[in-house]
Amino acid sequence: MHNSLPLPAGPDDPFAGLGELLLAVRDHRRGLLAAAGSDGYGLFRVTDRARRRWLLHAEHPVNALAFHPSLPLLAVGTGEYDGGYLFEGELLLVDLATGAARSLFEDHFGRQVLGLEWPDDHGLRVLLAPPDDWKDSKAHREGHLAVIHRTDWATVPAGSLTGTDLAGPRVPAPRPDHREAARRTVARLLSPPTRRHHTGG
C-alpha cells in the first residue's frame, strides 16, 4: 500500500512537491521538521533555513506525525473514509536518515489513524477510527485509543501489528484541521529572520 518513491521538487522551495500543506510537526531538539501535504510528506533539516532530506508519497492523507523520543524514527498515521463502509489507512515507521518506511498493520485495508503520541521510548499511543461505520452512528466522531508497547521500535517488522495490538477503549475522536497551524509554521521557516542593525553613537 505504501509507495516510497521520492516526489519531484522545485530547486528553491524545499516544500515543493507536498501539495496543499496539511500538517507540520517540529522536533526542536534535533532541528527537524516533518510536514505533510495533499501529495506527500517529508522531513526537513531546519537551520538558518529549511533543507529537505526526503519526500515520500502516501496512499492516504496523512493525519498524524510523531518523532520518536530517542530513536531516529518518525511515526506517520494516514487514512480516510472510503465513502461507503471502511476507514482505511496505515501506520508507518520511517527512518529519519534514509526515508525507508515500514507499514505496520497486518490487515491489508488497515485502519485510519487519527492521532499519534510517544509517551516514552517503548510505547506508542494510537488513536484510530473504527474499522467501519456499519450500524455505528458515532463512527465519524469517535474512535479507539490503543497503546502499543515494543522493546525496540527500530526492529519492529512490517505487517506485525494485529487487531489485538489495536484494541482499546472507545473515546471521542475529533478530526481537527491542522492546515492553518502548518502554514504558519512553514511560513516562519521560509521567512528569513530580521537582522537588527546597531549604529554607534
What letter represents residue 140's amino acid?
A: H
- Is the Cβ–Cβ distance between 33 and 50 less than 8 Å? yes
Please check whether residue 66 lies inside any domain of the structure: yes
Q: Please state, in angstroms and rounded to a whole number, the distance separating the CA atoms of residues 126 and 96.
A: 20
User: Does residue 5 register a pLDDT over 80?
Assistant: no
Please check whether residue 22 lies inside any domain of the structure: no
pLDDT reported for residue 189: 81
Q: Please state, in angstroms and rounded to a whole number, the distance separating the CA atoms of residues 155 and 69.
A: 16
Q: Which residue reads 458515532 in cell numbers?
A: 138
Please check whether residue 54 lies inside any domain of the structure: no
Please check whether residue 92 lies inside any domain of the structure: yes
Please check whether residue 14 lies inside any domain of the structure: no
User: What is the pLDDT confidence band of residue 93, given thresholds at 50, 70 and 90?
Assistant: very high
Q: Looking at the 3D structure of the chain, how many domains does it have?
A: 1
Please check whether residue 71 lies inside any domain of the structure: yes
Please check whether residue 90 lies inside any domain of the structure: yes
Q: Please state, in angstroms and rounded to a whole number, the distance separating the CA atoms of residues 116 and 146.
A: 10
| % pLDDT > 70, the chain | 89
Q: Residues 3-15: what's their mean pLDDT?
A: 57
Q: Residues 18-42: what's their mean pLDDT?
A: 94
pTM of the model: 0.89
DSSP 199: -
The residue count of the chain comes to 201
User: What is the pLDDT confidence band of residue 11, given thresholds at 50, 70 and 90?
Assistant: low
Query: Which residues form the domain of 140?
Result: 62-190
Please check whether residue 154 lies inside any domain of the structure: yes
User: Does residue 8 register a pLDDT over 50?
Assistant: no
